[in-house]
């Protein structure tokens, strides 16, 4: 089973002058990323988004920053299939807590079961309090935690609070999100260490899962950071063109049983859709990738293969 996670950077479908149109892979907060010239590159961005997903040939694709189900379906039918990707008949995009529509989504060639979002989870539901200055009724997840089972594997797809514009204020919010995912795992599995589960997505921690002082320590205490199987210099998955900043916000965190069952499974970052100004990557790029745009996203997809999983039976947790 091949599983990919990809922050597609604001994938949104709009109807403008009676025509369907995608927003591009841009945040409109960098020089040159707004205005008519930037908008002219939007469709080229999204064709590249589709092509890099097609290259992954994943059985399950976990996406962050998808506006809604209509966007997901239109992207699948009109761009992804055109790019040569397999058909993904099982599709999910649940409304989350991001008012800008940056929701979580799943594309799957395999049937999905036990699909559930947790956008309404509150800290008090877990017997905890919110960070100082955060209203008690504010949901724990700034977007969501989307759970789904595919075959013997349970996925927890997440997109945590970003560390900017105020890293100090964001840290306890992200810490509570990590505690909540752990709470969900421990609530589902009597013995989480023996079950097969995978936390994946954009966890937005600049320190990485396994680093001391990370907001993700609650998850690191119960899981195995599969990114640690990559050479340290190869773990980056994000590049911000305006500031030249690199990072590794994207994560794959496996249960101990899953990691032990596939000791050779190593993540791969697919960077061929990144802008050419991400000079740390010296490999081939997709045709049409530009110096800054067009590009597939400011993130690279992460891909991991668990060979033989589709026919395997998960251990009793």
Is residue 11 pLDDT above 70, yes or no? yes
Residue closest to 270 by CA, chosen among 221, 303, 233: 303
The verdict on residue 239 lying in a domain is yes
- CATH label of the domain that carries residue 279: 3.60.10.10
**Per residue in 162-181, pLDDT tens?**
998 899 999 999 999 999 99
The verdict on residue 187 lying in a domain is yes
**Per residue in 206-244, pLDDT tens?**
878 877 789 999 999 999 999 999 999 999 999 998 778
Does the pTM surpass 0.95? The reply is yes
* Distance (Å, whole) CA 118 – CA 73: 22
Residue 317 banded pLDDT, cuts 50, 70, 90: low
Model pLDDT, residue 316 = 78
Residue closest to 218 by CA, chosen among 306, 128, 135, 281: 128
Beta strands in 118-237 (DSSP E): 145-150, 153-159, 197-202, 224-225
Q: What is the DSSP letter of 211?
A: S
The verdict on residue 279 lying in a domain is yes
Give the list of residues 6+ apart from residue 223 with CB closer than 8 angstroms, or none: 199, 209, 253, 254, 255, 256, 259
Give the list of residues 6+ apart from residue 297 with CB closer than 8 angstroms, or none: 6, 7, 8, 9, 25, 49, 52, 273, 274
Model pLDDT, residue 274 = 98
Model pLDDT, residue 30 = 75
Mean pLDDT, residues 16-35 taken together: 88
Lookup: tokens for 29: 């907060």
Is residue 97 pLDDT above 70, yes or no? yes
Task: Give the number of domains in the chain.
Answer: 1
Mean pLDDT, residues 100-126 taken together: 97
The verdict on residue 316 lying in a domain is no
**Per residue in 64-82, pLDDT tens?**
999 999 999 999 999 999 9
Mean pLDDT, residues 24-42 taken together: 89
Lookup: tokens for 287: 């045709």
Is residue 21 pLDDT above 90, yes or no? yes
**Per residue in 119-156, pLDDT tens?**
999 999 999 999 999 999 999 999 999 999 999 999 99
Model pLDDT, residue 217 = 95
The verdict on residue 158 lying in a domain is yes
Mean pLDDT, residues 179-208 taken together: 96
The verdict on residue 317 lying in a domain is no
Is residue 23 pLDDT above 80, yes or no? yes
Model pLDDT, residue 188 = 97
The verdict on residue 109 lying in a domain is yes
- The per-residue pLDDT of the chain, averaged, comes to 95
Cis upstream peptide for 294 (omega within 30°)? yes
User: Which sign does the torsion angle of CA 57, 143, 36, 237 carry?
Assistant: negative
Mean pLDDT, residues 191-197 taken together: 98
Alpha helix ranges (H) inside the chain: 36-39, 42-56, 69-75, 167-188, 217-220, 256-261
Mean pLDDT, residues 23-44 taken together: 90
Domain range enclosing 299: 2-311
């Amino acid at each position: 089973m091949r599983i990919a996670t990809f922050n597609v950077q604001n994938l949104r479908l709009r109807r403008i002058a009676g025509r369907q149109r995608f927003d591009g892979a841009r945040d409109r907060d960098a020089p040159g990323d707004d205005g008519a010239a930037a908008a002219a590159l939007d469709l080229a961005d999204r064709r590249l988004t589709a092509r890099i997903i097609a290259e992954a040939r994943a059985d399950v694709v976990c996406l962050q920053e998808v506006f809604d189900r209509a966007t997901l379906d239109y992207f699948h039918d009109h761009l992804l299939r055109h790019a040569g990707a397999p058909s993904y008949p099982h599709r999910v995009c649940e409304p989350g807590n991001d008012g800008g529509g940056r929701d979580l989504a799943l594309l799957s060639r395999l049937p999905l079961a036990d699909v559930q979002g947790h956008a309404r989870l509150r800290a008090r539901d877990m017997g905890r309090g919110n960070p100082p200055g955060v209203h008690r009724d504010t949901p724990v997840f700034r977007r969501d935690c989307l759970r789904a089972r595919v075959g013997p594997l349970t996925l927890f797809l997440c997109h945590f609070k970003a560390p900017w514009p105020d890293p100090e204020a964001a840290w306890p919010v992200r810490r509570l999100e990590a505690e909540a995912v752990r709470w969900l795992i421990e609530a589902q599995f009597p013995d989480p260490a023996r079950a097969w589960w995978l936390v994946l997505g954009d966890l937005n921690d600049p320190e990485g899962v396994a680093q001391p002082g990370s907001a993700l320590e609650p998850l690191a205490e119960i899981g195995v950071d599969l990114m640690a199987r990559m050479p340290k210099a190869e773990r980056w998955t994000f590049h911000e063109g305006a500031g030249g900043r690199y990072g590794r916000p994207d994560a794959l965190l496996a249960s101990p049983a899953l990691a032990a069952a596939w000791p050779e499974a190593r993540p791969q970052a697919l960077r061929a859709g990144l802008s050419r100004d991400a000079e740390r990557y010296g490999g081939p790029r997709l045709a049409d990738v530009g110096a800054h745009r067009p590009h597939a996203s400011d993130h690279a997809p992460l891909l991991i293969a668990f060979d033989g999983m589709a026919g395997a039976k998960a251990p009793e947790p």
